[in-house]
Amino acid sequence: MFAGMRLDVRGRWQAGHNPLLPSQDPFYRPPVDLAARRPGAILRSRPIDVALFGVVPQKVSAWQLLYRSNDLHGRREAAVTTVLLPPGASPHPDRPLLAFQSAIDAVTERCDPSYVLQRGARARGSVTQAEWLLVAGALRRGWAVSIADHGGRAGNFGAPREPGYRALDGIRAALQFEPLNLHADTAVGVWGYSGGGLASSWLVEMAPTYAPEITIVGAVLGSPVGDPGQVFIRLNGGRYSGFPAIVIAALRPLYPILDQVIEANLAPEGHRLLARAQKLPPITALAQLANQSFDNYLHKPLEEIMAEPELQGMLDDLRLGGSTPRCPLLVVQPVRDKIVHIEGIDAQVDLYRRGGTHVTYLRDRCSDHFTLLPLSTPMSLRWLADRFAGEQLPPADTHTVWSVATMAPGVRGFAELALTALRVVFGRPLAAARGPLRRTDRAAAA
């Protein structure tokens, strides 16, 4: 259907063709003078066509930016973010920027947002495709959006710190990119859920020391994992055991001690399982690797191996909460989450509060891990809009509610979400629901 891909003179993929995978695309290759560039410096850019599930064209303005960033060990690298504007957006001095971290949750490059979002992309099983509805909701409000490939070229799912580096440098690149008409003092909001919440947590933890010049006014962290090591130990052998397989496959190249322990204990069938997990998108991995226990491929149980003293440093490195975000946070979490246990999020919130972070924490009794994302979307957009407008912060309390769906903006928020979904599915323009407003504009409107 999309064979014979070619680029036109503006760098867009012509209709009826596939975009190249990042490893095959010259756009992703760093220039020879990378070492001379500052973090966040734009190396090259190109316009792209965005499509829902790679098929339904979306009427938005979109570009890819290649920019300088750093990996886990501080080594310079080139990274990519996709930046977007509402269709026909005119310059606006108060337009905010949303840094949206997708739940990439994979090693395979087929799940990189910069590939997934393009028209003609073959990325079946990617979570990013479904998350486009959230991004569309932000664009309808008149916001600019940056979606970084926060896992990097190697797909380092679960790695600490480097998602923050890549996302923050993506923000720096977006603020400099002339077609977005942003500026150094543009208000920046942060949002992510599950794997995206994990990446967003690293972003806000790293921001005070790595990018203190960025004006982050607030972040929504949905089910943000807290302690990745405990999560993948708990999920081993259960319905969601595809996630531990992907995480171990991703972390082995980053932590030599993990690679040594796995090599010493893993049977040949286990190596084949990891090789398989490395190639699967998250939704496919959940279906195909359900109930696969690493204990069946190891000389001793996974939990026993992960408890060995030499691995404790790695597990401590993966855990969130070691640094204190300076921006206010909204954290949402299902009480009965079967993937991310609530104890890990309680601990993450507690560490942030002890460091002085303003955290509004909502625990939802009725939702599960998958339903909380759409149900919390209207509330999350409203909370971010209030931060952009300079509204007073809600109390830094913990509330356990039956459902966040009953909270403001309630019926109106879900009506806007439904209208956005219809426009996305039928490829209609994302007519602005409400433009970015300053505090003075809100007061005048009242």
pLDDT tens-place string over residues 372-384: 999 999 999 999 9
Q: Is residue 77 part of a domain?
A: yes
Q: How far apart are CA 292 and CA 334, in angstroms?
A: 25
How far, in Å, are 67, 106, 147, 275, 283 from residue 112 at the CA level? 16, 8, 10, 18, 14
394 prior amide bond cis, ω within 30: no
Please tell me the predicted confidence (pLDDT) of residue 432.
Answer: 64
- Whole domain around residue 62: which residue ranges? 22-227+319-445
Q: Is the pLDDT of residue 436 over 60?
A: no
Q: Is the pLDDT of residue 13 over 80?
A: no
Q: Is residue 5 part of a domain?
A: no
Tokens coding 366: 């009725």
Short-list 95, 83, 99, CA closest to 206: 99
Average pLDDT for the chain: 91
Helices in 91-158 by DSSP H: which ranges?
113-116, 127-140
Q: What is the pLDDT of residues 311-348, one digit of tens each?
A: 899 999 999 999 999 999 999 999 999 999 999 999 99
DSSP per-residue string spanning 240-285: TTHHHHHHHHHHTTT-HHHHHHHHHHB-HHHHHHHHHHTT--HHHH
CATH code where residue 299 lies: 1.10.260.130
Contacts of 426 (CB under 8 A, 6+ apart): 56
Task: Identify the residue with better confidence: 81 or 440.
Answer: 81
CATH code where residue 179 lies: 3.40.50.1820
The percent of residues above 90 in pLDDT, for the chain, comes to: 77
Domain count along the chain:
2
Location of structure tokens 């040594």:
260
Of the pLDDT bands very low, low, confident and very high (cuts 50, 70, 90), residue 11 is very low
Q: Is residue 12 part of a domain?
A: no
Please tell me the predicted confidence (pLDDT) of residue 219.
Answer: 98
Tokens coding 426: 């039928």
Task: Identify the residue with better confidence: 351 or 411.
Answer: 351
Q: Is residue 280 part of a domain?
A: yes
Q: How far apart are CA 115 and CA 4, in angstroms?
A: 17
Confirm if 158 and 226 have CB atoms less than 8 A apart. no
In terms of domains, do 438 and 327 share one?
yes
How far, in Å, are 246, 314, 382 from residue 117 at the CA level? 22, 33, 25
Query: Which helix (H) or strand (E) is 349 found in, with range?
Result: helix 342-354
Q: Is residue 161 part of a domain?
A: yes
Q: Is the pLDDT of residue 274 over 80?
A: yes
Domain boundary among 317, 342, 365: 317
| Helices and strands, number each (H, E), in the chain | 15, 12
In terms of domains, do 380 and 280 share one?
no
Domain boundary among 291, 317, 343: 317
In terms of domains, do 236 and 148 share one?
no
Q: Is residue 17 part of a domain?
A: no
Confirm if 221 and 200 have CB atoms less than 8 A apart. yes
Query: Which helix (H) or strand (E) is 337 found in, with range?
Result: none
